[in-house]
Amino acid sequence: MTKKIAVLPGDGIGPEIIAEAVKVLEHLRTDGLDIEMNEAPVGGAGYEASGKPLPDDTLALAKASDAILLGAVGGYQWESLDISVRPEKGLLGLRAELELFSNLRPAILYKQLADASTLKPEVVSGLDILIVRELTGGIYFGQPRGIRILENGEKQGFNTLVYSESEIERIGRSAFDIAMKRGKKLCSVDKANVLECTELWREVMERVSKDYPEVELSHMYVDNAAMQLVRAPKQFDVMVTTNMFGDILSDCAAMLTGSIGMLPSASLDANGKGMYEPIHGSAPDIAGKNVANPLATILSVAMMLRYSLNEIAMADRIEKAVENVLDQGLRTADIDSEGMQKVSTSEMGDAVVSAL
């Protein structure tokens, strides 16, 4: 049956990198991939089209699709808008509406890019970790929230960190399932010494672990985890953590690999439907210049084929094609180094298609 893919380019470099990912999908279509692609605006583009960062038609399309491929959202021109209609609300709305609670963020260091990392090659070479971030709960969604005026006239900002047992259990199971398919080591990251909410997190993770006797579960406070990620990152296999801690730690892990432009991500619901996107933002500083690295988005397509469309062989082919272009010495500006051949966004996309 034809699989439906919602293509949401978004803002900034979003349309440029998505165009390269679509080239890859179009090529695979000629090889028998049975897909239908439909494009819609989201983020700032959604706001311009309909006054909403997540237009009703875009949400309906996403709900009716088997998978969603997203570029990135955001830009300077929308920063002064009310928070309720800022581009990021489009992304948060999609995650919440589609119940995409499990965010998979791999940090893999390609051997060809070992020099691109700011860490010593022996600390990072061969790095292969996966951070599982809870995506629809925690402090980014907790109520009450806001900015209020105190009796003395001073303003006070407040947010709420809240997790129910069932929310912790489902992200825990998602992470244990993934750990079973990898090195069977899971590190749960919390701040149980200070935050009651994550004391409960730790308790539930321990409980869930009883159903996964083969997985070695450990716990780490988030401040130590940040330190260990830059000190000895290869000690980790799978890490599971809350929405905000995962947001921060996965960007830190991303930098271990040298470029934010290389890392894909997947956000899954309970049935394997997913939204796939690079971990980076809309990079307004380089938008429209044809210099952005499209590989994170192309690797997001590989994750989509693997986790939502069950086309494992095609996913492997894309990942091998990316290795191939790196072996050829092709580099976008963000990963360029001496002796390599610098290429544009579209040249990199073309090279991946040729390698396929």
Of the listed 251, 269, 336, 350, which one is catalytic? 251
> Does 325 contact ligand NAD by CB under 6 A?
no
Rounded distance between C-alpha atoms, residue 18 and residue 249, angstroms: 25
Query: In the complex with ligand NAD, which residue's Cβ is closer, 33 or 244?
Result: 244
Q: Which of 237, 247, 307, 334 is catalytic?
A: 247
Q: How far is the CB of 249 from ligand NAD (least distance, A)?
A: 15
Among 98, 186, 283, 330, binds ligand NAD (CB under 6 A): 283
Whether 57 is catalytic is no
Q: For residue 264, state whether it binds ligand NAD (rule: CB under 6 A).
A: no
Kindly state the smallest distance separating residue 259's Cβ from ligand NAD, in Å: 7
Q: How far is CA 270 from CA 52, 63, 159, 206, 274, in A?
A: 27, 14, 27, 21, 9
Q: Does residue 140 carry a catalytic annotation?
A: yes
Asked about 251 being catalytic, the answer comes back as yes
Q: What SS3 state is found at 147?
A: strand
Listed in order, strand segments (DSSP E) in the chain are 3-10, 35-39, 67-72, 102-108, 128-134, 146-149, 155-158, 185-190, 216-221, 238-241, 264-268, 274-278, 330-331, 341-342
Annotation marks residue 307 as catalytic:
no
From candidates 226, 284, 324, 347, binder to ligand NAD by CB under 6 A: 284
Residue 191 among the catalytic residues: yes
Determine, following the binding rule CB under 6 A, whether residue 292 of this chain makes contact with ligand NAD. Answer: yes
In angstroms, the first-to-last Cα distance of the chain is 24
Q: Are residues 39 and 310 in contact, defined by beta-carbon separation less than 8 angstroms?
A: no
- Which residue do the tokens 């990898």 mark? 182
Tokens of 221: 């406070």
Query: For residues 209 and 218, is the Cβ–Cβ distance under 8 A?
Result: no
15 lies in the binding site for ligand NAD (CB under 6 A)? no
96 interacts with ligand NAD by CB under 6 A: no
Please identify which of the residues 34, 223, 316, 327 carries the catalytic annotation: 223
Place of tokens 């900034």: 12
Residue 280 sits in the site that holds ligand NAD (CB under 6 A): yes
Least distance to ligand NAD from the beta carbon of 297, Å? 8
CB of residue 129 to ligand NAD, shortest distance in Å: 20
From its phi and psi, is residue 188 left (phi > 0), alpha (psi between -120 and 50) or beta?
A: beta
Give residues 163-222 in contact with ligand NAD (rule: CB under 6 A).
none
Q: If we measure between CA atoms, which residue out of 241, 333, 252, 238 comes closest to residue 294? A: 333
The three-state secondary structure class of 11 is coil
| 282 part of the interface to ligand NAD, by CB under 6 A | yes
Residue 74 touching ligand NAD (CB under 6 A)? yes
Residues noted as catalytic: 140, 191, 223, 247, 251
Task: By CB under 6 A, name the binding residues for ligand NAD.
Answer: 13, 17, 72-75, 88, 91, 260-261, 277, 280-286, 292-293, 296, 334
